[in-house]
Amino acid sequence: MRVLQERILKDGRIYPDNILKVDSFLNHQVDASLLKEIGLEFRKLYEGTEVTKILTIEASGIGIAAFTADAFGCPMLFAKKTQTKNISSEVYTAKVMSYTHGKVYDIIVSKEFLHKGDKVLIVDDFLANGAALEGLISLVKQAGATLVGCGIVIEKGFQGGGDRLRSQGVRVESLAIIDEMTDTSLQFRQ
């Protein structure tokens, strides 16, 4: 997605330890028109798959997933990182190691909202080592739902998570794949 790559180059900031900050337009301050284009692009990529639910993880994936759900005309559901008093005690749960935060989270989704008949598209802002996607895939499997695939805005291809998931038969569609990143530059996959 050319417009996304251009925006990453223009407004993204690279930090040590392979951290790419896109918080000025994607996952803190949000460019709604760009997210709308992203949602429509995922709709094109997964045309004909009869998606009934978009699933993401809080918090950075929520905006992207909401625009994607709008494009598909279906509900969006996000996995929470903490159990709250207002969520049912009947939940699916999985452990996820956050690359960015360096800690393990228990992610949860209420059984009330994820069912056996659902056809689920998982959407997230980044894919690095694949831990978040594996956790979300586990929730889909626990529910007995069908995983249609995963839509990723930015994949760090050099960290191998996407390739590993693809080799396991998971359909992963990434809008921008970074194959190489240094402290001062990055190279997109062509």
| CATH number, domain with residue 151 | 3.40.50.2020
Cα separation of 124 and 152, whole Å?
Answer: 5
Residue 144 lies in a domain: yes
Q: Count structural domains, the chain.
A: 1
For residues 74-103, average pLDDT: 81
Asked, for residue 100, whether it belongs to a domain, the answer is no
The C-alpha atoms of residue 28 and residue 61 are separated, in whole angstroms, by: 10
Contact 102, 111 (CB under 8 A): no
In a domain, 84, yes or no: no
How many whole angstroms separate alpha carbon 147 and alpha carbon 52?
Answer: 11
Range of the domain at 125: 2-78+112-188
pLDDT at 65: 97
pLDDT digits (tens, 9 = 90+) for 9-67: 999 999 988 889 999 999 899 999 999 999 999 999 999 999 999 999 988 899 999 99
Say what the pLDDT of residue 99 is.
Answer: 65
Distance separating alpha carbons of residues 142 and 111, to the nearest angstrom = 10
In a domain, 129, yes or no: yes
